């Protein structure tokens, strides 16, 4: 079953810092919904463990993530493959970053994935809704991480 997703999100951080955050495996491990492990296996290559629940179907995925076509600080392509107890997923996503004035950046994303196995049985409408929900949680997690970094910087300046 094929899934497609795209959108954009404005974040309260400068473009260079957003680029750094999106390329930091420790940050990604904290903000990717369901992520329980991230391991660097090479330059711009990672192995990840995810635990996901889609409706009444839940399971764990192990997969690989690779970053291609890097054009710092504006663009990269993420390729993802995963397999687990509830099926498989293979896809890619393009990320484009754009400065939006003082201290803000726009992140545009577009991706597609092929999903199979038990998880595909829940239907495309449900999977599309879950994908949008997970993307929203990713961006909220990124915003929270950015806000915590600003708080820590402000606390350090006040000390």
Task: Provide the pLDDT for residue 6.
Answer: 93
> Among the listed ranges 68-82, 106-120, 143-157, which one has the minimum average pLDDT value?
143-157
pTM above 0.75, yes or no: yes
Sorted by where each starts, the structural domains of the chain and their CATH numbers stand as: 2-158 (3.30.530.20)
d(CA 152, CA 138): 21
pLDDT in tens, 25-47: 899 889 888 888 999 999 999 99
More confident residue, 52 or 139: 139
Buried b (16+ CB within 10 A) or exposed e, 58-87: ebebebebbbeeeeebeebebbbbbebebb
Cβ-based burial of 121 (10 A; exposed 0-12, middle 13-18, buried ≥19) = middle
């Amino acid at each position: 079953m094929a899934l497609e997703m795209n959108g954009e999100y404005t974040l309260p951080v400068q473009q260079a810092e957003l680029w750094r955050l999106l390329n930091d495996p420790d940050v990604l491990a904290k903000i990717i919904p369901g992520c329980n492990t991230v391991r660097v296996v090479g330059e711009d290559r990672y192995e990840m463990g995810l635990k996901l629940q889609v409706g009444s179907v839940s399971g764990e995925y192990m997969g690989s993530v690779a970053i291609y076509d890097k054009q710092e600080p504006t663009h990269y392509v993420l390729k993802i493959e995963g397999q687990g107890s509830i099926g498989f997923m293979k896809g890619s996503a393009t990320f484009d970053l754009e400065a939006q004035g003082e201290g803000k950046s726009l992140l545009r994303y577009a991706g597609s994935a092929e999903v199979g196995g038990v998880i595909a049985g829940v239907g495309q409408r449900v999977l599309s809704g879950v994908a949008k929900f997970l993307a929203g949680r990713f961006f909220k997690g990124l915003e929270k991480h950015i806000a915590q970094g600003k708080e820590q910087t402000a606390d350090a300046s006040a000390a």
